[in-house]
Amino acid sequence: MNLDDLTIKRALTLLSKGEITSKDLTLACLDRIKRFDPEVKAFLYVNEEWALAQAEASDKRRKDKKERSLEGIPLSIKDNILIRDHPTTCASRILANYIAPYDATVIERLKEAGAVFLGKTNMDEFAMGSSTENSAFFPTKNPWDLERVPGGSSGGSAVAVALRMGLGSLGSDTGGSIRQPAAFCGVVGMKPTYGLVSRYGLVAFASSLDQIGPFGLNVEDTAILLQIIAGEDHKDSTSCPIKNLDFVNFLEQNSQRSFRVGLPKEYFTGDLHPEVQRALEKCIDILKKKHTLKEISLPHTKYAIATYYIIAPAEASSNLARYDGVKYGFRAECKNLIELYKKSRSQGFGKEVKRRIMLGTYALSAGYYDAYYLKASKVRTLIKQDFEEAFKEVDLILAPTTPTPPFKLGEKISDPLQMYLSDIFTIPVNLAGLPCISLPVGLTEDSLPIGAQIIGPAFKDDLVLASAYSLEKELSLKLLPSILINQS
């Protein structure tokens, strides 16, 4: 079975006509994993027996005329989202043997829709990173160039979709962790509005920033997945009561709409890589034909990185306090309780996680709370207000996803500040809680993917998807990673 051009929508059509079965499709995806995952290392966990059992159950439901909206579609899941009775490690030694006791709400909804789960994907430990090099187990490689990073922290999910090792995936986005790897791997990734998708069953990093979202080969597949996982959940107090979501039909009905598109001058500076600049200029030329473009200002953008790296580590420090060697997870051999805490955490957490815990604990400590965390919270409000003011003049905002194309493995891992700057264009959206999608908009001369972001007002996820769908059609790119071309 040729998976290269097989989208979720096309697969559902073939399944409904009986031209393929879910078992056929699942076996084809498992074969892809066997062929390519030893090289790219996108997966932390694959359960072939479980996947095939799900596929056979799906085929039976279809035969009995009980098919559901996503019946028989194989997916992968980032390893910080709980699936009952299966491992959830967050790519950390401290959770190396942890088996989830319940399903995340998004998993419940995908199960109800008939999806098939192939396994769990690699990530930066506890979602802290921009390259998937901070996994405690192994780094993941970019399928366009095995010497480069796939982005992070949801690098495994982006690679799995790029190589068609499953037709879609879920990731989480705290400061760009869906959009940045989507851009680096040539796929579509969506960070929904904060509160649109339940976080119940997502292992917390920074609770006011974390958001689960989908990866797809194209915008339509991304909309299909978002439609299933979005919606109110009483188990998540930050979930918003949004009803009657129909992202898929909205795409077609509004793809010809004309929008007012803002171009933030703070995002289009001399610091942008020339090839990223050229790709964005091509997008701007396309958008000019149908939309009204306007330069806008988001003046507090320059404070976003500093603000994020106070708020996110502070919340991480609080959330990760539960990993103490007592309740669950890794436990070091010790003589007393204090030694147990110290050794379990120092041996169980990696360098980047420990760095952020220490940053966050310092920012929250007595005498420093007002100077750091409180001030950062106020600047976060200013960043949010920048977007609110901009959306009085425009409907949507276009921006680069990343300042550069994918960088090389090891290039930034020893320089945290340079690594943090990789997320300079993605972090403001999380601080403001807005919907944002990254889609491929071109290739560099070395055939590396380049992504662009479309940002919308809160809960205008449908507008973001519709505009991305329209731009995707105009660009009409056919992207196939070099590893697939070389081994076809």
Active-site hit among 135, 153, 154, 198: 153
Among the listed residues 23, 41, 78, 120, the single catalytic one is: 78
Contacts of 13 (CB under 8 A, 6+ apart): none
Give the phi and the psi of residue 99 in degrees, each rounded to 5: -110, 125
Measured distance CA(448)–CA(482) in Å, rounded:
9
Check if 78 is active-site. Answer: yes
Active site residue 488: no
Provide the β-strand partners of residue 442. Answer: 450
Side-by-side strand order, sheet with 43-46: 43-46, 116-121, 74-78, 168-172, 212-216, 188-191, 436-443, 449-455, 396-400, 260-264, 292-296
In order of 206, 284, 308, 318, 359, the CA distances from 362 in angstroms are: 16, 43, 15, 12, 5
Tell me, yes or no, if 318 is annotated catalytic.
no
| Given the residues 135, 177, 344, 470, the one annotated as active site | 177
Active site residues: 78, 153, 177
